[in-house]
């Protein structure tokens, strides 16, 4: 079974620029998560989708971050405009409906200069 | 304890030695405790999911125990090898809550 795919793997941008990340979850997984992991901290949930609906986006900085999951499969996470403190690894994870275990992609390491 | 906490933050271990580290979590509203291994440039990989007090799970040289009453879990690695070098993350979720609350991880470095 193919794992969770993410792209790009690395991205360097200047502050105030925009960036987008893409995630393709494991086929058939209804739930999709985006996490932000800042160096030295645990992953922080940004948004959780159930199929194409948002379950929780309470920690998503909505003034600059947006995410969508069209057709309940792939998802994109966008930052516009980026700030220095957005430098982090952005992880995408998916899980079957009703399951606790999450399956992760390799992440996108974002550096904002 | 309100958050999931891991100690130590980092650990250097000689190849061949055994080691262990701790995950502390809120004991109220507990459902499951998860351990993940995250190697550099790879995807975090699930090691164990534990739900019952006193649970002990093993995968090769790695094992984990769970104490839900006092809110802690230990991860043990026997005879450390260079390929064990990684960050080990634990996460907890409560009943009827699929969201995981994560610790900051223990970074393990195995010295040859």
Partner B contacted by A106 (CB < 8 A):
yes
Contact A113, A15 (CB under 8 A): yes
The whole-number pLDDT of residue B49 equals 94
Closest Cβ–Cβ partner in B32, B98, B104 for A41: B104
The whole-number pLDDT of residue B27 equals 85
Q: Which of B9, B3, B15, B8 is nearest to B80 (CA)?
A: B15
pLDDT, one tens digit per residue, over B58-107 is 999 999 999 999 999 999 999 999 999 999 999 998 766 678 899 999 99
pLDDT of B1 strictly over 60 = no
The whole-number pLDDT of residue B108 equals 97
Greatest alpha-carbon pair distance for chain B in Å reads: 44
Residues from chain A contacting residue B91 (CB–CB below 8 Å): 42
Each residue's pLDDT, cut to its tens digit, for chain A (113 residues) gives 689 999 999 999 999 999 999 999 999 999 999 999 999 899 999 999 999 899 999 999 999 999 999 888 999 999 999 999 999 999 999 999 888 889 999 999 999 99
Query: Which of A5, A6, A35, A42 to mutate to test binding with chain B, by most B CBs within 10 Å of its CB?
Result: A42
Q: What 8-state DSSP symbol labels residue B100?
A: P
The whole-number pLDDT of residue B95 equals 66
- At residue B2 the predicted structure's pLDDT band, cuts being 50, 70 and 90, is low
Kindly state the percentage of chain B with pLDDT values over 90.
81
Contact B30, B46 (CB under 8 A): no
């Amino acid at each position: 079974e193919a794992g969770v795919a993410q792209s790009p793997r690395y991205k360097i941008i200047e502050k105030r620029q925009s960036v987008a990340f893409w995630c393709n979850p494991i086929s058939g997984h209804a739930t999709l998560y985006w996490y932000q992991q800042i160096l030295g901290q645990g992953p922080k949930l940004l948004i959780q989708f159930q199929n194409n609906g948002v379950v929780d986006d309470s920690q998503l900085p909505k003034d600059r971050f947006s995410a969508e999951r069209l057709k309940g499969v792939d998802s994109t996470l966008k930052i516009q405009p980026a700030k220095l403190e957005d430098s982090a690894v952005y992880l995408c994870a998916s899980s079957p409906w009703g399951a606790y275990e999450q399956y992760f992609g390799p992440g996108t390491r974002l550096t904002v200069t | 304890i309100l958050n999931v906490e891991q100690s130590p933050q980092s650990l250097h271990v000689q190849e061949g030695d055994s080691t262990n580290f701790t995950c502390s979590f809120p004991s109220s509203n507990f459902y499951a405790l998860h351990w993940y291994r995250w190697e550099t440039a790879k995807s975090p990989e699930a090691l164990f999911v534990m739900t019952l007090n006193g649970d002990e799970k093993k995968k090769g040289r790695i094992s984990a125990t769970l104490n839900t009453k006092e809110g802690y879990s230990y991860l043990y690695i026997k005879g450390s090898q260079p390929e064990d070098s990684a960050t080990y993350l634990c996460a907890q979720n409560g009943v009827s809550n699929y969201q995981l609350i994560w610790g900051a991880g223990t970074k393990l470095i195995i010295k040859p």
